[in-house]
Amino acid sequence: MNQTAIRMEGLGKRYRIGERERYLALRDVLARTLSAPLRWMNGAKGKYGAKGNRHARTEEYFWSLQDVSLEIGEGETVGIIGRNGAGKTTLLKILARVTRPTAGHAEVRGRIGSLLEVGTGFHPELTGRENIFLNGAILGMRRREIAARFDEMVEFSGVERFLDTPLKHYSSGMQLRLAFSVAAHLEPEVLLVDEVLAVGDAQFQKKCLGKMKDEAAAGRTGVVVSHQLNQVRRLCERVVWLDGGRVRMSGPTAAVVSAYESAMLEDSAGQPARANERARFLGWKVRGDGSAPSCEVNTLEAQELQFSVQVFAAAQQVNLGIALRAADGELAWAWEARELAFERGRHELRFRFPMLPLRPGVYSWMIGLWDAQSCLDLWYAAPAMVVSLPNHQHPLEEWNGLVNVPCEFSVARHS
């Protein structure tokens, strides 16, 4: 039975900006009210219009979210991506009930757990143990739930030794781990996560992602806001792209994320050369023999990789470096070319491979041009390259390496 866990209809959020001061003082309100008749008599006009006069005041409004209608089913993990200021956090805040929408409505089925920040409510004077209870309670857990999962939380965070020390003596890394371990053991039906997975060291992030995937597997619904597209790819089946407060695209992860990356790229590609810019990589694509160009490798056919670069000033004796890294940063392949020459203008750099037999996953290209003076451009290519070949290696994942090359096997008897 797959019910809708979250239904949003025409959600909108409007903020008032402009003349409204951030903090109001009662004395100002009183002064304004008392002097209103005076100002009216003087027929207040001038540079700021009738500042304080209700009728003539022009307040500016800013719609941070407009007409957002989405349905998220039970057990789905949906990612929300978009530029800064697109309204992602506002949407999450509305779902978390921290702020109320200006228009539209939403329905959420189940207990809502919001992870908009790690360590919400942590108090530096209290010990780690006390803060676990406090944080858990603030996040919505009952006392007996916290007590039941207490040991698990402590173990996950790894701060067992310091459990009875005041939090202010913890390092920021320890505080983070403690905060996340409490949040990770929150078991709501709907979990809202805002960029919190972006913090912490790589090893801990891996642990957190693993825990989140377990939650998803257990049938919990998740809404994840993140700028880290790799994480979004790993966690989410569906992605919603918010742009300027509206839903620009919504669909399967791969499609939406690629579209987003391409759009981001186009923005930077179209810009004129900046002050010291000598070259700029514009884009890349890969094409298998007999396929259309894309960012995906899905056959063992020969592949042609192509990078476009715009050179603003001619250069000689240029060296090229290129590297391919797997999702966890492991280096898969690298190469260099020396003593190239470039005229001004646009160039295509082509690399032809007999095949790219890589373990299925997400990979990132890095390419750079240098000459004796400086680096012309170094580019961490986006979008990432997706390899979706069938597995030609050992059936067990722990025995899968980067080189996903098929082999022909036979046994011959030695007589």
The 205-224 contact track toward another protein, x by CB under 8 A, reads --------------------
Answer yes or no: are the C-beta atoms of 401 and 328 closer than 8 Å: no
Residue 113's H or E segment, with its range, is: strand 112-115
Show Cβ contacts of residue 150 under 8 Å, excluding neighbours closer than 6 positions: 132
Instruction: Write out the binding residues for another protein, residues 125-184 only, by CB under 8 A.
Output: 125-126, 130, 133-134, 137-140, 142-143, 166
In this structure, what are the phi and psi dihedrals at residue 54, rounded to the nearest 5 degrees?
-50, -45
| Member of 23, 55, 271, 292 binding another protein (CB under 8 A) | 23
In DSSP notation, 75-96 reads: T-EEEEE-STTSSHHHHHHHHT
Q: What is the dihedral of CA 234, 239, 243, 246, to 10 degrees?
A: -150
Q: Binding of another protein at residue 19 (CB under 8 A)?
A: no
Nearer to another protein, 90 or 181 (CB): 90
Q: Residue 107 Cβ, how far from another protein at the closest point, in Å?
A: 6
Nearer to another protein, 2 or 271 (CB): 2
Instruction: Write out the binding residues for another protein, residues 91-110 only, by CB under 8 A.
Output: 93-110
Q: Binding of another protein at residue 69 (CB under 8 A)?
A: no
Nearer to another protein, 30 or 273 (CB): 30
Q: Indicate the DSSP class of residue 144.
A: H
Q: Indicate the DSSP class of residue 240.
A: E
Q: Residue 28 Cβ, how far from another protein at the closest point, in Å?
A: 8
Nearer to another protein, 92 or 297 (CB): 92
The residue range among 39-47, 122-130, 268-276, 343-351 that interacts with another protein, by the rule CB under 8 A, is 122-130
Cross-strand pairs, 305: 286, 351
| Member of 39, 63, 120, 402 binding another protein (CB under 8 A) | 120
Cα–Cα distance for residue pair 57/49, rounded to 1 Å? 7
Q: Binding of another protein at residue 60 (CB under 8 A)?
A: no
Q: Binding of another protein at residue 25 (CB under 8 A)?
A: yes
Cα–Cα distance for residue pair 247/69, rounded to 1 Å? 8
Show Cβ contacts of residue 292 under 8 Å, excluding neighbours closer than 6 positions: none
Cα–Cα distance for residue pair 119/121, rounded to 1 Å? 6
Site size with another protein, rule: CB under 8 A: 47
Q: Which residues bind another protein (CB under 8 A)?
A: 3, 15, 23-27, 29, 93-112, 114, 116-117, 120-121, 123, 125-126, 130, 133-134, 137-140, 142-143, 166, 189
